[in-house]
A = this chain, B = another copy of it.
Amino acid sequence: MEVKARAPGKIILSGEHAVVHGSTAVAASIDLSTYATLRFPAHSDNDGLLRLELKDIGLEFSWPVVRIKEALSGIDVPNPSTPTSCPAEAIKSLAILVEELNIPEAKIGIAAGVMAFLWLYSSIQGFKPATVIISSELPLGSGLGSSAALCVAFSGALLAYSDCASLDFSHQGWLNFGESELDLLNKWAFEGEKIIHGRPSGIDNTVSTYGNMIKFRSGNLTRLKSNMPLKMLITNTNVGRNTKALVAGVSERTLNHPDAMASVFNAVDSISGELATIIQSEAPDEISVTEKEAKIEELMEMNQGLLQCMGVSHASIETVLRTTLKYKLASKLTGAGGGGCVLTLLPTLLSAIVVDKVTAELESCGFHCVTAAIGGQGVQVCFGGSS
């Protein structure tokens, strides 16, 4: 018995940082995913172990399920239909389990993800032996929502074989969850994100679950239906950032210059509003795709200027901006800034030769580029391991 779930990463199209100060942000899924394969052993192969293989980083862990059960004894482990936050005492017990793994220092960032896995697995599947294999097209910690995609993929694979989902096991190829199943899955993924991030916004897991785009303001998420295909070049500067320090820097600047920064956040709010309107616009005749793309480019350039005003740009980001500007392409940082990833809109009519050229030039600077379609499918599953 095997199921594979895939969950997309996300980009912030507009409004990062300003969203913390009350502005609207727009986020979208990308067609780069994290994959979670859940395999239950045949009765004869049951060795009583829960295995977790992290293919991309070459780590493999296993626990006797009795060991996990023991660690969580005395804790009210929820059932699959009631997503519940991992209580403090469970966090402690799971932390001990993970400590015992002796994860190499360089890869210690994955520890919280393993804890999230253990909580989601125990809550949704109980204490059955199984093997879960993770692989991902998303670079870790670069602002593309890799941790949320991980939690959504976990939740997708785990719920697919639970009583809470009614999926057609005989279906060939990728399959969508029903709406209420997605709602449940999203809540579980959010509980996983909380173990990893403490106080996540919920944007990343929501985008990864439902796909497409969402508008986010003051804690309220609104799903958007995009009516235009969008393609972005995503350039990973490979410069690590300290998201907390960047967020704190913007807050400090806001304290120092309250009036100016309030106006800056208002400007970002207007930009996100315009962007959502353009993306949802159903009138393909009234405004051509090219015109829409030109507007989005202008809004991206404006948002980038405002992010520079907030002080979250970085020399590496500026290098990407300058390089893409040479090809008359508009770019903006996405996520926390200070390095991380930069988006460049690839207009529909742009020739593949230009994309190749700009990619080559960016990669010659030591950056890593990938082309992604924006606003596609959310989480999906596939039974039998055929895909």
A interface residue numbers (CB < 8 A to B): 253, 256-257, 259-261, 263-264, 266-268, 270-271, 273-274, 295, 298-299, 301-311, 313, 315, 318-319, 321-322, 325-326
Closest B residue to A272 by beta carbon equals B260
Closest chain B residue, CB of each to CB of A259: B270
How far apart are the CA atoms of A57 and B81 in the complex, in Å?
Answer: 83
Residue of B260, B270, B311 touching A274 (CB-CB under 8 A): B260
Are B259 and A309 in contact, CB atoms less than 8 angstroms apart? no
Identical chains bound together, number: 2
Determine if A256 and B295 form an interchain contact, defined as CB atoms under 8 angstroms apart. yes
For residue A387, give the distance in angstroms from its CB to the closest CB of chain B.
43
Q: Which residues of B contact A299 (CB under 8 A)?
A: 257
Given A257-B298, A260-B274, A322-B322, 13 additional A-B pairs, CB 8 A: A253-B298, A257-B302, A259-B266, A259-B273, A260-B270, A263-B264, A264-B264, A298-B311, A302-B311, A305-B308, A306-B306, A306-B309, A315-B325
Q: A263 and B260: CB pair below 8 A?
A: no
Q: Which residues of B contact A302 (CB under 8 A)?
A: 253, 257, 260, 264, 309, 311
Q: Do A263 and B267 contact each other (CB < 8 Å), given the known contacts A301-B311, A309-B305, A315-B322?
A: yes
| CB-CB nearest 10 A-B residue pairs | A305-B309, A305-B308, A263-B267, A260-B270, A263-B266, A259-B270, A263-B263, A302-B309, A260-B267, A264-B267
B residues in contact with A274, CB < 8 Å? 257, 260
A112 to chain B, nearest CB (A): 33
Residues of B within 8 A of A295 (CB): 256
* Cross-chain contact A298 with B264 (CB below 8 angstroms): no
Q: Which of A257, A268, A299 has the most CB of B within 10 A?
A: A257
Q: List 21 A-B contacts (CB under 8 A).
A: A253-B302, A256-B295, A256-B298, A257-B274, A259-B266, A259-B270, A259-B273, A260-B268, A260-B270, A260-B274, A263-B264, A263-B270, A298-B311, A301-B308, A301-B309, A302-B311, A305-B307, A305-B308, A305-B313, A306-B306, A322-B322
Q: With A and B bound together, what is the CA distance between A259 and B253 in angstroms?
A: 23
In the bound complex, residues from chain B placing their C-beta under 8 Å from that of A304 are 308-309
A302, closest chain B residue (CB): B309
**Closest residue of chain B to A321, judged by CB?**
B318
Given A266-B263, A298-B257, A326:B315 Cβ within 8 A:
yes
